[in-house]
Every structure is written in structure tokens, then in C-alpha cells.
Structure 1
């Protein structure tokens, strides 16, 4: 029974921490990737990268 309770205890500890979204490493990494993607799209649009 202890093995079953351990993950629940860990999840409750993680849920109790009040951290802003910007401090979570996965969210920051995803933000960097999306930011770079939008930057590349904007630069291509500025210099006519969409022309065929």
C-alpha cells in the first residue's frame, strides 16, 4: 500500500508549490521554440520569402 501512496504524496507536493508558468523548464523551452518559429516566419514575410 505504501508504493501506491508515494506517487500521490509526490503529486500533492508538486501541486502545492505555487510557481509561475515561466519558471517551468518545459514551458520555457516551448516558448523559445515557438518564438524562434514566429521570428523566422516574420523575417521570411518581410523579405518576400513567400513568393513562388
Structure 2
């Protein structure tokens, strides 16, 4: 008697989780390796001084 194994289908949640992980990973890489002038954050004291 031969048994046919059912084909495994990956649920969409798996692909969504992998896609979300890749997006977050790439976002962190861009933030880490971006030039300092590209991402400028003012401290609260600088914000008060400019007002």
C-alpha cells in the first residue's frame, strides 16, 4: 500500500513574519550606517535655544 505524503504549504503568516523581520533589519542597517548629517536629532536644550 503506497502512501502519498501531503505537500506542505507554508501559511501566509510565515511569509509575513519573514517580510516584517527583513524590513526591520534593513531599517536598522540604514539607521546605523547612514551619514550623521542625514539623521540629525536635536537635543531638548538645542530646541529651547533656537526658540
Q: Which structure has the larger Rg?
A: 2
Normalised by the size of structure 2, how large is the TM-score? 0.49
Normalised by the size of structure 1, how large is the TM-score? 0.49
Q: Which has the higher contact order (CA 8 A, sep 6+)?
A: 2
